Structure 1
Amino acid sequence: MRKLCVFFSLAFLLCTVVSAQSPTGNIAGKVVTVDGKPAEGVTLIIKSLNRIAIADNNGIFNIQKVQPGTYTLVVSLVSHKDVEEQVTVTAGQTAKVDFKLELSDQELNEVVVIANKSSFKSNRMSGSLRLQTPILEAPQNIQVVTAKLINDQQIFDMLEGVTRNVSGATKIEHWDNYARITMRGSNIAAFRNGMNVSTTWGPLTEDMSMVERIEFVKGPAGFMLSNGDPSGFYNVVTKKPSGRNKGEVSVSMGSFDLYRATADLDGKISKDGKLLYRLNVMGQMKGYHRQFDYNNRYSIVPVLKYLVDDKTSVTLEYTHQFSEVNVIGSNYLFSKRGYADQPKSMTTAEANLSPTTMNDRSILAIFDHKLNNDWKFTAQVAYFNYKQIGASLWPIKFQQANDSFMQRGISIWDVLGTTKVGQMFMNGKVQTGNVVHKILGGLDMSNKEYYHDWNQGAALGDSNFNVYAPKYGLATAPVFDRSKDLRERGVRYYNAYTGFYAQDEIGLFDERVRLTIAGRYTTLKSGDVYNGDYKNSKFTPRLGLSVSLDKNTAFYALFDQSFLENYGSDWQGKSFDPITGNNLEFGLKKDWMAGKWNSAISFYQITRNNVLTQDDEHAKVVNGDTIGWFQRPTGEQRTRGIEVDIRGQIARGLDVVVNYAFTEAKITKDSDPKVIGNQVAGSSRHVQNAWINYRVDRGALNGFGISLGYQVQAKRSPWYSFDNSENSLPDYFRLDGSLSYQKEKIGFNLVLNNLLNKYLYSGAPYTWGGYFYWQAEPGTNARFSVSYRF
């Protein structure tokens, strides 16, 4: 460990060395839109030098230390013609050049979101969030994980370190297929391109090769994005065609036999530039720190976009993701004595078990039409198909006489699911005197039907599997009967919703004060094979206020409600009432150094009703053995908290992401008085993260970078069940770092995770089974990637 610390210290010192250079000049100017507003966040490129600059909040840019000569300066515009200008640089002088774009401020939104990949921060949200307001002025806490951050940290999928970049977000456990992310005291919903894709156990987590950015929306936002948990959701925005001919390929290798390759191709198909394409492919073979474990994946994501004219476009996107793992549940460890008393390499799986395969296919169609400069109509439909063939591992029981011995169980786990989503919405702007109205209205529809078969099970080996001295190769897996269609043998889960919503953001006093009035009427339909279908409807209002104290500082306040389905049934076969929630929040946002970095602080209280929790009094018992459990609704949960987020470039070459969250999540009402006051399962009272990257942009070390980051979680409660006992999880600290080098078109990135080689895990006591379970993270491990842009 000392050698690693010395290595990073020397590397950081080397970053400050700059060799002597010949006299240079600067290029500076301003970019504005056709309506005269600053074109903040647009990307400018010096073609021959591969130098990039980003216009600040005032549309101003300044490219320093440019060698004398004549260059072509390009303003990069997604799905629009690039704007080019010749500029001559003279030593010791600043060349002035200004640009006026043939775009309105509203049209600039998608250009900035998709084109700017050079920053840890973003000023604007994607079009899939439907709002026309910049993030600074929105009456809600929205945090964006950019492509730059994802690449810098070498995050390969949502199961990895995405949450470290957002205050209060933590990943708990997973089944190798979907990410379970907790924020503000509860499990948040997964969205893709503005569509709720969450299911009971899904969807297959997105590989980062297909991802443009990830937007974490905190608090309810059902008025604009279908149904979601009162704590918020994360929205994965996939890559779309930019209209520029470019590409990138990368190859990665790392610990535990990691081999990975990706390709991202982007450009024009037709000579007139109307037919665009984007193709992302990925292949990966990956082992684990656990014996016999693996996760082999590939994905193919082609996208076509046709620009009918300057007002209308049609986009078609197909996604195929495949994953093959050993057996679901093989990433868990079990003990009667307590947490973490077995090595991280331990497993209850066998080498000869048949793999579990997961196929996730979807198709997305988007129709965009600009009625005029102020109004735009969007319609999109998607079809998702998920198929899983495999099995899962879980203990049947431990021996009473000797708690070292466990009877392993294996059961079939096949899944077949379909999700259909349709959305239509219109947003625009109307001015009445000195009052500006930004109006949004639309219709959302969704239908999800999933079949799960876990009804066939058997013992794996005998009852003498020693969790402290395991012997493998003695067990034979059963053969499951798949002769019937999964729709016949599986348990059906079904839910659907229809929602109508409307919002008016009223701009007063030259839009320095913005009052949001919105409402949504939602009808939920849910059901399963036990209790049939049921239906509930509710109107949920939203009131927001955002006040610009100056052009870089905004205060906001928000009241919002949520309404979403509860899956399953209780021990009597009765369905659950929907989850309802109230959110009260206020905060302060500020851009610093003309938008190079920003800060946000928020205070909130969320009240959630009818949240499901473990029903300890009723368990499923077969032949004297407990094989499952039921759930019951709690009366009320209340979460209060404070969140702080800082991100962006705080000094030349120094980009940071720093965040902190205090979360007090408690059960406040319940039919069982003993649980009142308990910390909500899965929540962490304190979460603090940092990621710091320094990159040299001149001299002999130009392109060299170093990063260091850590994650801290304190007072963690187990995800499954928590009674405020000594069974809480220990505090969590993880330290990571990276070294990188970018030389024109080629880049190198070495990431070292868990530098301190700590035993890190998450888990819970399994009350009705009388034992503990947990998932252990790998010790110190490395990844090395080489990328080439063209």
Structure 2
Amino acid sequence: MNKIYSILLLFLCLTVVVAKADGPLLKNGSIRGRVQTSDGKPAVFVSVGIKNTNKGTTTDDNGNYVLTNIKPGTYTVKVSSVGLQAEEKDVTVSEGKPTILDFILRESASQLSEVSVTGSNRRNKPVLVGKSGLRPLDVPQAIQVIDSTVIADQQINRLADVMKNVNGIALGENRGSVNESFYARGYSLGANNVFKNGARSSTGGMPEASTLESVEVLKGSAALMYGGVTGGAVVNMVTKKPKFNWGGEVSMRAGSYDMYKPTVDVYGPLSKNIAFRVITTKENANSFRDVVKTDRFYINPSLLFNISKKTELILQGDYLKSNYTPDFGIGTVAGQITPVGRNAFVNASWAYNNTNTGTAQANLTHRFNDTWKLNVIGSFQSYYRNYFGAERPQATAANGVAPRALTRSNSKEYTTNQQINLTGSAVTGAIKHTLLFGADADQSKTTAYAFKYGSAGATSFSYPNFNLLDPSTYATSMDIPYTYTYQNTQTPIYRMGAFAQDLISLTEQFKVLAGVRYTYQRTPKASTYNQETGVTTLANTGIAGNKVDKAFSPKVGLIYQPVTSTSFYLSYANNFTSNSGVDVNGSPMGSSIIDQYEAGVKREFLNGKLSVGVTAYRIMNNRFAQTAQFQADGVTPNSDTNVKEFSGKTASDGLELDINGKLSPNIYFLAGYAYNFFRYTQTLPTGITEGERIVGSTPHTANATVFYTFTNGDLSGLKFGLSGFYTGKRSSGFNTLKTGAARGVPVTLTDYATFDLSAGYTYKKVSLLAKVSNFTNEINYLVHENYSVNPIAPRMVQATLSYKF
């Protein structure tokens, strides 16, 4: 708390000092106003500037703009955006007075939306994941947005395919390859870090990405706005919204290994004030992996209600059925990747992982006036998973003989989320404040069912051992054993928090972002109900009642903008992570507070057509929980892994480069590079080797994509694209111990690069786009711990035929 008070006091003093130092600015005037489209909607993210000066800004999500510190005189104000016809007006500024100047563009809201998607890289457009409506240039953190153009041109199906375009994001693997796994700045992005339209979302069943409008990534700590998230990044999937003009698209995608995926997207008005949109897709596919199959169905209906000129309500929901063959890859032999073909399937041939995910959301936005806006969100999500298969293809001996234990599980999860966010601006003297106040809460309950096998009621079951080096043994003993549930365990979690943030524009060049959040998280003991005995028991965690975590999460940033297109920043933020277990006295472990320091520069060139961002960061956890070395007496060695202490430290240092360009309607490109060094800096004498990189982190990643479309001449309508993705050397499995105790051997993975080549043709409303992915047929692996070793996909072909109406 002392740190928080000191930071807030420091910035209060800065505000007063700069306000006094800039006292004469009060004599200058200002220009403010609103930019609307021809149909009365706010014109969002258009440039507003004074000709022949360096003064400029962009409109916010209400269409408002403010130009301050303007000497008295007559000026010409210009409103422009890539692909739009500029509007100009003359205005006279008086001493010490605001001048109101509004604009009405010739384009409608839908036309402006289309132009902004196709004519600009939209880097400086406010993003939903930031909640405050700030331009990315005003946010002292790295932000990256992958829009629908990239998603369509790369023919993306999964969220993982989107994330390959985000520098600093590394793909991981999980148990059985049934979900997608990501790492940002070394930290795993767990279930709490992925959102859909601003509400926490499950990644179970692999989210459908082909129907998204965009994917927003806010890197670093986002605890101020989202509470208990890990420090690497938060990801927000934005679905496509209804429109008040009729239109849509039907498409058919087909590819290697019998992949077929039809999609229908229809939108339009139901009345003057109600619009709808329905997107649905069906996917069936085999795989380069023997036996593996995919069967998916997705539908996303939504309604938009213009309740009044100031109030709108969006109701939306989606449903995803995803049936997928669980696949543990080719496993390991004596700590090394099994030397068999990338197609070899070692799970039971009947194995299944069937999931059903449903969501519903209401999003209400009310604009009190041109500066203040209220947003209220309520959401519900259900997730069901039914799983059965053989696991852990791992041979500890060089002869390749491995056990084959079966796992049967069934779980369901219900999550509700409520949010309220108030944004607005105010002026105190010559200082402008852009304010955000918010509160949120979410509740989740997971029920996991346990099974018994056969009439004897055994709680475990194994097939006979098989040999990973002998494919003829893979398909033996494949009868499905009889199972039945005998107990279920319920695990609830409750979170709530409140936060406040202020972007203080001390001058046009110098800004301060300051905010703080308080988070409260309650985790009751898990309860297990035995259906055979009728007895309910509570988990024996050593905690008398509920486990409670409380934390303040401050955020402070200094921003310097010498010109409107350039932003230098320094920032500090932290986040907390909840720890399981108890200390040596039996009290629940507290939270780990993770500090992040970030510095960067964001620069736009060519009137926003080209943007470059460079970021450096350090993330430190000085309260890393480890198994306690001794019991409470300080002498007796501790062997209970549930008893822990805050005796460890980790550090993550990194550098990120982000380049985006839309130089003309013909060509766009994006590229990035990231370096990360995530390691243990302090551990117990019996702990992990200090200085060693944490498994799962990837030191080097890079990506690049370029697409060119011919718009004139005989080649008009042709499109060509090339994408490349690089992943550096890394290790998976387990980190080594100082004592040399046996706990598995790290799996060392070589670096690799894959390249995708795209080509297509559009004639009027019909288009055909084809892609050869991994056309060099690179072989490498994604690894979970030291047994789920999944080869990357080989060279594959897919094509999409679509018709827009």
Check whether TM > 0.5: yes
Amino acid aligned to 1:737: L
CA contact (8 A) 2:352 2:389 kept: no
1:571-720 mapped onto 2 (5 Å cutoff): 576-610=589-623, 635-650=648-663, 653-672=666-685, 674-718=688-732
Q: Does 1:560 align with 2:584?
A: no
The residue aligned with 2:332 is 334
Separation in structure 1 between the aligned mates of residue 643 and residue 253 of structure 2, nearest angstrom = 43
State which of 756, 775, 778 in structure 2 corresponds to 1:758.
Answer: 778
Residues 243-294 of structure 1 deviation map (CA, whole Å, 9 limit, x = unaligned)? 2221011110001110001111121111x2x111111101000111111101
Q: How much has 1:368 moved relative to structure 2?
A: 1.1
Separation in structure 2 between the aligned mates of residue 636 and residue 238 of structure 1, nearest angstrom = 39
Q: How much has 1:705 moved relative to structure 2?
A: 1.6
State the secondary structure of the residue aligned to 1:658.
strand
The residue aligned with 1:782 is 797
Residues 319-343 of structure 1 deviation map (CA, whole Å, 9 limit, x = unaligned)? 11001112x3444533336125111
The residue aligned with 2:33 is 35
Q: Does 1:743 align with 2:763?
A: yes
Amino acid aligned to 1:374: T
Separation in structure 2 between the aligned mates of residue 56 and residue 561 of structure 1, nearest angstrom = 33
Q: How much has 1:571 moved relative to structure 2?
A: 13
Q: How much has 1:242 moved relative to structure 2?
A: 2.8
The residue aligned with 1:423 is 419
Q: How much has 1:115 moved relative to structure 2?
A: 7.3
Amino acid aligned to 1:209: S
Of 308-317 and 389-398, the range deviating more from structure 2 = 389-398
Residues 215-265 of structure 1 deviation map (CA, whole Å, 9 limit, x = unaligned)? 111111222233321122111112221322210111100011100011111
Q: How much has 1:113 moved relative to structure 2?
A: 7.2
State the secondary structure of the residue aligned to 1:173.
coil
Separation in structure 1 between the aligned mates of residue 125 and residue 643 of structure 2, nearest angstrom = 41
1:402-421 mapped onto 2 (5 Å cutoff): 403-421=399-417
State the secondary structure of the residue aligned to 2:134.
coil
Separation in structure 2 between the aligned mates of residue 572 and residue 778 of structure 1, nearest angstrom = 50
Q: Closer, same or farther in 2 for the Cα pair 1:323/1:764, shift >3 Å?
A: closer
The residue aligned with 2:27 is none
Separation in structure 1 between the aligned mates of residue 723 and residue 569 of structure 2, nearest angstrom = 30
CA contact (8 A) 2:725 2:753 kept: yes
The residue aligned with 1:63 is none
Amino acid aligned to 1:536: D
Separation in structure 2 between the aligned mates of residue 144 and residue 79 of structure 1, nearest angstrom = 21
Q: Closer, same or farther in 2 for the Cα pair 1:210/1:773, shift >3 Å?
A: closer
Amino acid aligned to 2:552: F
The residue aligned with 2:532 is none
Amino acid aligned to 1:185: G
CA contact (8 A) 1:196 1:228 kept: no
Q: Closer, same or farther in 2 for the Cα pair 1:613/1:727, shift >3 Å?
A: farther
CA contact (8 A) 1:678 1:723 kept: no
Amino acid aligned to 2:689: V
Amino acid aligned to 1:686: H
1:110-509 mapped onto 2 (5 Å cutoff): 116-118=116-118, 120-159=121-160, 161-174=161-174, 175-188=176-189, 189-197=193-201, 202-270=203-271, 272=272, 274-326=273-325, 328-331=326-329, 333-336=331-334, 338-351=336-349, 353=350, 355-395=352-392, 398=395, 403-453=399-449, 456=452, 458-471=460-473, 473-483=475-485, 489-509=487-507
Q: Closer, same or farther in 2 for the Cα pair 1:773/1:154, shift >3 Å?
A: same
State the secondary structure of the residue aligned to 2:392.
strand
Q: Closer, same or farther in 2 for the Cα pair 1:650/1:573, shift >3 Å?
A: farther
Q: Closer, same or farther in 2 for the Cα pair 1:38/1:377, shift >3 Å?
A: closer
Q: Any stretches of 5+ residues in structure 1 without a counterpart?
A: 1-32, 44-53, 61-76, 81-93, 618-628, 767-771
Amino acid aligned to 2:269: K
Q: How much has 1:535 moved relative to structure 2?
A: 0.3
Amino acid aligned to 1:776: P
TM-score, structure 1 normalization: 0.79
Q: Closer, same or farther in 2 for the Cα pair 1:578/1:97, shift >3 Å?
A: closer
Amino acid aligned to 1:428: G
Separation in structure 2 between the aligned mates of residue 547 and residue 520 of structure 1, nearest angstrom = 24
Of 563-572 and 513-522, the range deviating more from structure 2 = 563-572
State the secondary structure of the residue aligned to 1:595.
coil
Separation in structure 1 between the aligned mates of residue 357 and residue 280 of structure 2, nearest angstrom = 14
Separation in structure 2 between the aligned mates of residue 261 and residue 613 of structure 1, nearest angstrom = 50
Residues 417-470 of structure 1 deviation map (CA, whole Å, 9 limit, x = unaligned)? 111111011001111222111110011101122123466565453213444323
Of 172-181 and 753-762, the range deviating more from structure 2 = 172-181
Separation in structure 1 between the aligned mates of residue 760 and residue 84 of structure 2, nearest angstrom = 32
Separation in structure 2 between the aligned mates of residue 721 and residue 494 of structure 1, nearest angstrom = 32
Separation in structure 1 between the aligned mates of residue 548 and residue 103 of structure 2, nearest angstrom = 46
The residue aligned with 2:515 is 518
1:64-83 mapped onto 2 (5 Å cutoff): none
Q: How much has 1:358 moved relative to structure 2?
A: 0.3
Q: Closer, same or farther in 2 for the Cα pair 1:671/1:320, shift >3 Å?
A: same
CA contact (8 A) 1:583 1:604 kept: yes
Amino acid aligned to 1:285: N
Q: How much has 1:564 moved relative to structure 2?
A: 3.2
Amino acid aligned to 1:318: G
Separation in structure 2 between the aligned mates of residue 472 and residue 425 of structure 1, nearest angstrom = 55
Q: Does 1:732 align with 2:752?
A: yes
Q: Closer, same or farther in 2 for the Cα pair 1:610/1:357, shift >3 Å?
A: farther
Separation in structure 1 between the aligned mates of residue 785 and residue 464 of structure 2, nearest angstrom = 24
Q: How much has 1:38 moved relative to structure 2?
A: 11
Q: How much has 1:205 moved relative to structure 2?
A: 2.7
Separation in structure 2 between the aligned mates of residue 742 and residue 377 of structure 1, nearest angstrom = 42
Residues 738-758 of structure 1 deviation map (CA, whole Å, 9 limit, x = unaligned)? 112222212211111111112
Separation in structure 1 between the aligned mates of residue 629 and residue 750 of structure 2, nearest angstrom = 24
Q: How much has 1:111 moved relative to structure 2?
A: 9.6
Separation in structure 1 between the aligned mates of residue 164 and residue 360 of structure 2, nearest angstrom = 30
Q: Closer, same or farther in 2 for the Cα pair 1:477/1:609, shift >3 Å?
A: farther
1:19-58 mapped onto 2 (5 Å cutoff): 35=33, 57=47
Amino acid aligned to 2:304: K
Residues 657-684 of structure 1 deviation map (CA, whole Å, 9 limit, x = unaligned)? 1111111111112224552111012111
Amino acid aligned to 1:642: L
TM-score, structure 2 normalization: 0.78
Q: Closer, same or farther in 2 for the Cα pair 1:348/1:738, shift >3 Å?
A: same
Amino acid aligned to 2:402: M
Amino acid aligned to 2:132: L
Q: How much has 1:714 moved relative to structure 2?
A: 1.9
Amino acid aligned to 1:289: F
Amino acid aligned to 1:490: N
Separation in structure 1 between the aligned mates of residue 626 and residue 718 of structure 2, nearest angstrom = 50
Separation in structure 1 between the aligned mates of residue 626 and residue 241 of structure 2, nearest angstrom = 40
Residues 71-116 of structure 1 deviation map (CA, whole Å, 9 limit, x = unaligned)? xxxxxx9999xxxxxxxxxxxxx997749998899xx999977874
Separation in structure 1 between the aligned mates of residue 158 and residue 447 of structure 2, nearest angstrom = 25
Separation in structure 1 between the aligned mates of residue 111 and residue 88 of structure 2, nearest angstrom = 15
Q: Any stretches of 5+ residues in structure 2 without a counterpart?
A: 1-30, 51-59, 64-82, 90-100, 453-458, 527-538, 631-640, 739-744
Separation in structure 2 between the aligned mates of residue 563 and residue 163 of structure 1, nearest angstrom = 24
